[in-house]
Amino acid sequence: MAIVSAFDNPNAESDLAVYRRTFHLPPCTTANGCFRKINQNGGSTPPPLTDPGWATETAVDIEAVSAACPRCNILLVEADTNSLSNMLTAVTQARTQGSKFISMSWGLPEDPGQLALDQTYFNFPGIAFVAAAGNGGFSGFFYPAASQYVTAAGGTTLDRSFQPVPGPQAKRSGWYESAWSLSGSGCSQVQPKPPFQTDPDCPMRTVADVSALADPATGFAFYSTFSSPGWRVIGGTSVSTALIAAMYALAGNPGPADRPNSYPYAHRRAFWDIDQGSTGSCGGTYLCTAEIGYDGPTGVGTPRGVLGLRR
């Protein structure tokens, strides 16, 4: 599977090795064919310039993918900069390299011009594009997550509970999830509604589709040494995006004519239905409040294994 990030993280492979050794995962290296890093043009040289913030993003993405899918081969495609043009060029490179699963932990506010970009970069059946819903709360969601062809990954808070939690999560043992308050959610102003979305209060595309861990307060441990001290805990829908994309890969290749972002809607029982938490104020509707059934903050829910992410 492919991860699209920006700028170069020169320590990506060595930091990944530390992460995987710590959690007793098999090695994933250039030498054994598991890990490959290329630029947006498909070559290994010259690498893009470096950037500390994006180096952190890259480390989080490849390590979260490792956590969810330890035997996935990882293709890291580094865009020259974080401009939308370069990021989309890197997405095309990931696709032309043969990746069926593409993780995009980034985005920009939506605008009408992105409808044309959809047709060039994301209207490709048989490929699971997964993008971050954003960290802006209600009506703070991003493109390309807003695209009708992309799975929008929302975020949750994961908490311990030694007593059963009432509602759809009652059968979970020791843990429960609620909508992360900053996860992007809402109703698009420009993107058409895909046919598999049937929620009543948004005539356009609704975000999100599915969700996973994102709250930094209950976050993801990762290792990065480029301008950072090593081990840290982080959150954001960047984490949930990489986790969901890796779960798609575990589920197997999509059907060649399929839209993989439709799969969760056809297999709702394969997800934990999250009915707690909100992402802001929207009059108490499902667009910002987690509730039984589909809702904007968590979509159809969080995966119970990978059955809901396959045909």
Q: What is the pLDDT of residues 32-75, one digit of tens each?
A: 999 999 999 999 999 999 999 999 999 999 999 999 999 999 99
Residue 205: φ, ψ to 5°? -65, 135
Helix axis angle for 114-121 and 84-96, nearest 10°, is 20
In terms of Cα–Cα distance, which of 148, 83, 88 is closest to 115?
148
Q: Quick one: pLDDT at residue 221? A: 98
pLDDT band at 290 (very low <50, low <70, confident <90, very high): very high
Q: What is the CATH number of the domain that holds 273?
A: 3.40.50.200
The answer on pLDDT for 115 being more than 90 is yes
Q: With pLDDT > 70 as the criterion, what percentage of the chain qualifies?
A: 100
Sequence-distant (≥ 6) Cβ neighbours of residue 245 within 8 angstroms = 1, 3, 65, 101, 102, 103, 128, 130, 153
Q: Quick one: pLDDT at residue 44? A: 93
* 3-class SS string, 229-284: CEEEEECCHHHHHHHHHHHHHHHCCCCCCCCHHHHHHHCHHHEECCCCCECCCCCC
Dihedral angle computed from the Cα positions of residues 246, 247, 250 and 253, in that order, rounded to the nearest 10 degrees: -90
Q: Quick one: pLDDT at residue 151? A: 98
The answer on pLDDT for 225 being more than 90 is yes
Average pLDDT (152-180) is 93
pLDDT band at 161 (very low <50, low <70, confident <90, very high): confident
DSSP per-residue letters across 138-201: BT---BTTTSTTSEEEEEEEEEE-SSPPSSTTTT-SSEEEEE-TT--BEEEEEEEPPTT---SS
Q: Quick one: pLDDT at residue 8? A: 98
Chain Cα centroid distance, residue 273 = 18
What's the token pair of residue 86? 């370069």
9: left (phi over 0), alpha (psi -120 to 50) or beta: beta
- Residue listed under structure tokens 């290994």: 44
* Mean pLDDT, the chain, integer: 97
Average pLDDT (303-311) is 97
Q: With pLDDT > 90 as the criterion, what percentage of the chain qualifies?
A: 95
The answer on pLDDT for 228 being more than 90 is no
Half-sphere exposure at residue 275, Cβ-oriented, CA atoms within 13 angstroms: 10
Number of folded domains that form the chain: 1
Q: Quick one: pLDDT at residue 163? A: 82
- The bridge status of strand 101-104 relative to strand 128-132 is parallel
> What's the rounded Cα separation, in Å, for the pair 151 and 207?
9
The answer on pLDDT for 164 being more than 90 is no
Helix axis angle for 52-68 and 237-251, nearest 10°, is 40
Q: Which amino acid, one-letter code, is at 64?
A: A
Chain segment 241-286, per-residue pLDDT in tens: 999 999 999 999 999 999 999 999 999 999 999 999 999 999 989 9
**Do residues 5 and 76 lie in contact, with contact meaning Cβ atoms separated by under 8 Å?**
yes
In terms of Cα–Cα distance, which of 234, 238, 239, 142 is closest to 185?
142
The answer on pLDDT for 162 being more than 90 is no
**Do residues 115 and 149 lie in contact, with contact meaning Cβ atoms separated by under 8 Å?**
no
Average pLDDT (176-180) is 97
The answer on pLDDT for 28 being more than 90 is yes
- What is the domain extent for residue 80? 2-309
Average pLDDT (106-110) is 96
